[in-house]
Amino acid sequence: MRLAVSLLLAASAFACGFMGKGDMRINVHLTRQGGAYPVLPGAVSTANNAFVHPNLLRPVAALSGNGDSLLDNLRDFAARTGRGDLCYWTFQALPPPRGSGPSILHPERGYWDVTDGHADQDIEWVQAYGEVAVARLHSRVKEGGPVVGAMCAMGAQLVRRRCANGKSAPWKCVAAAANATIQWPMAVSIWKVSHPDTAAAVEDWRASRTTGHYQNIDWVTHVPGTAAARPWSGAMPKAGEINPSAMPPGPSFPASQLPGWGSPKIAKVVQCADIPPRFRYADELYFCDHLNGGGGGGGGGNGTAGAVSSVDEAYAAWRSLPSLWPPTKPCQDDLAALGRMLQKIYPPLVGGNCSASLPALQQILPNFDCDNSDMTPTFRDVCCSVCGGKTMPDVPSPAPAPAPPTPPVHQCGVCDHVYDPVADGGGKAFEDLPDSWVCPHCGSPKAAFSQQPTGEWAHSHQQQSEK
């Protein structure tokens, strides 16, 4: 039991989107004798050159070949190719707790089954925080600004559960929501790559407690200083509410009841003009489970037979567009990368080719397919021949590892703020700061900064004990 829980906590580290620099982190673990760590079913597609990554301000060396932030890589790509109007369009799922499976809590049920009510407390937090998050990000959408769009969905699985337990608004208990293509809670955002304020906007979005994403990050990651889990109290936030009365005021925000919530971002880089106009700088608030085709239910949908999920519409458009980054090359399986992947997942499979490895992995990892996003590079990236035969990322060879920076880089794992000794610490080295020091942007404690071997600092909660 202790081993299984520790593996789940380690897995949740990637789910929060904080990944190491320059190495492949595999997030699939065997959790019990004769069984496997199950993979999220109904995941967002990674076809059409979609890529998995943690955050715009973080490196994604497995795709870029360097340690620069994703945003810097995208801006360099735009400059080199003459593409000045690029948008980064991302879908990020918040699936049911990975700690809810048959190996730990419910051996009689499927690993992702939420119908027995064990995840109801966390589901209500996802609904509440989803409504607030989409309202807050939508409030930052200004014509021509760095934030281009924001959307939210609870996904068909959680919609059905909330309808069954009586928590949902009746207008959401219709086929358009309950049978939606999007299966799990989904945050959708669009950012303008070339805008000079994008980096600052991303950092402020993650850092702000009153108008940003800070509470969601704390709730998912159990960062140092978070409070014990508890039920959501008060009314469910209404669409557009940025600071509802039931929102915890902090500074210590509650954590999720069960470990393992969260999923990496699945993104594409496309021409902004190729995104349907209704999703670019929209006046309409695409609140959670927004339905297009009516005027009820708080706006944008009344549960009529003609209603459709707005996030499903956006997802269909997103799936149809090929990502312009990373650059690609003709399909050619990377068996060396496959070997490294199998060594992490299930060493007995090392040495097999792609056509043998895919069915073997599907036998030991429920729901595993080419859309699995628990690893970077993905299985689709290294085994394109059995995943549609399309092009694969053309990743440049990594540059020689640079000497450790002097002074070292210290970066907040919640908001990605980089510590400035002069501005933030009165000239003190990070190591000399008192334990009471907090991030000047988001207020996270000093313990939210941790150093990787490369000298880059990033948030890590692999070492946290079970709450």
DSSP, residue by residue, 382-399:
H-GGGTTS--EE-PPPPP
Of 345, 371, 393, the domain-final residue: 393
User: Number of structural domains, the chain?
Assistant: 2
Whether 148 maps to a domain, the answer reads: yes
Q: What is the model's pLDDT at position 39?
A: 78
Asked if residue 42 and residue 16 are part of one domain, the reply reads yes
Asked if residue 316 and residue 229 are part of one domain, the reply reads yes
Asked if residue 108 and residue 196 are part of one domain, the reply reads yes
Whether 416 maps to a domain, the answer reads: no
Of 369, 393, 417, the domain-final residue: 393
Q: Return the ∠ at Cα 449 (arms to 443 and 454), rounded to 5°.
A: 150
Find the domain containing 351 and state its range. 331-393
Q: Using CA atoms, how far apart are residues 327 and 396, in angstroms rounded to an integer?
A: 10
Question: What phi and psi, each to the nearest 5 degrees, are found at residue 398?
Answer: -60, 140
Of 300, 320, 340, the domain-final residue: 320
Asked if residue 94 and residue 31 are part of one domain, the reply reads yes
Q: What is the model's pLDDT at position 182?
A: 96
Q: What is the model's pLDDT at position 317?
A: 98
Amino acid at position 359, single letter: P
Asked if residue 341 and residue 310 are part of one domain, the reply reads no
* Strand, helix or coil for residue 135: helix
Q: Using CA atoms, how far apart are residues 157 and 41, in angstroms rounded to an integer?
A: 11
Amino acid at position 63, single letter: L
Whether 466 maps to a domain, the answer reads: no
DSSP E strands in 140-236: the ranges are 147-153, 186-192
Q: What is the model's pLDDT at position 466?
A: 28
344-352: long-range contacts, CB 8 A cutoff, minimum separation 24:
344/24, 344/26, 344/28, 344/375, 345/26, 345/28, 345/375, 346/30, 346/36
Asked if residue 306 and residue 213 are part of one domain, the reply reads yes
Q: How high is the mean pLDDT in each 10-residue block of the chain (467 residues)?
A: 28 29 36 52 93 90 89 96 95 74 50 84 95 97 98 95 95 93 96 97 93 90 86 93 91 84 89 97 96 58 71 98 96 94 89 95 87 87 96 79 64 85 91 91 85 38 29
| Nearest Cα to Cα of residue 291 among 159, 191, 163 | 159
Whether 400 maps to a domain, the answer reads: no
